Amino acid sequence: MRLHFWHRLTLGGDEELYGTWHLVSYTRTVVATGETTDIFGKAARGFINYGRDGRMMVLLVKDERPKPADLSKITDQERADLFKTMVAYGGTYTFDGTTITHHVDISWNQIWTGTDQLRNIKLDGRTVTLAPIRRRVP
């Protein structure tokens, strides 16, 4: 999984990470084959925010999400489809210049709540790229 964000909405001077970033792409690459797919489609939307107070939030959505006609009449299938087409979580973060750890306080799937999500991070001007840290399994 690799996330590319660009264009901070708030600028942080020398503190390049702070602010809100727009999602550019959300991809997965199969290491063995090099095949890359767009996880939430070519026009996925989303934001990630890193605050000076040490808090962060993420909201990502698929490019073609279902739109129920009426929230008071939404079906269980429509709810499930909406759930499967988003990622949302928030918490605190720590950043060492090359690695960022999201300490998740709340998440859309509850599985991530209370976990640490580690990412390699690359800041390049108006672009930030996040990628999960590959761990060796013994």
- Give whole-number Cα distances, 135 to 14, 58, 74, 119, in Å: 32, 23, 40, 11
- For the segment 4-14, the average pLDDT, to the nearest whole number, is 46
pTM confidence score? 0.83
Higher pLDDT among residues 97 and 8, named by residue: 97
Amino acid at site 109? N
User: Would you state the structure tokens that stand for residue 39, as one six-digit string?
Assistant: 């996880």
Least confident interval from 1-5, 36-40, 44-48, 50-54: 1-5
Q: What is the mean pLDDT of the chain?
A: 85
Residue 91 burial (10 A CB sphere; 0-12, 13-18, 19+):
buried
pLDDT for res 8: 46
Bigger pLDDT: 68 or 16? 68
Residue 102's CB: how many other CB atoms inside 10 A? 24
**Domain 2-132 part of CATH 3.10.450:** no
Question: Model confidence over 110-130: pLDDT tens digits?
Answer: 999 999 999 988 888 788 888
Domain ranges of the chain: 2-132
End-to-end CA distance of the chain: 22
pLDDT at 32: 83
Closest CA to 20 of 61, 62, 53, 58: 58
- In the prediction, which pLDDT does 24 show? 87
Q: How far apart are CA 119 and CA 135, in angstroms?
A: 11
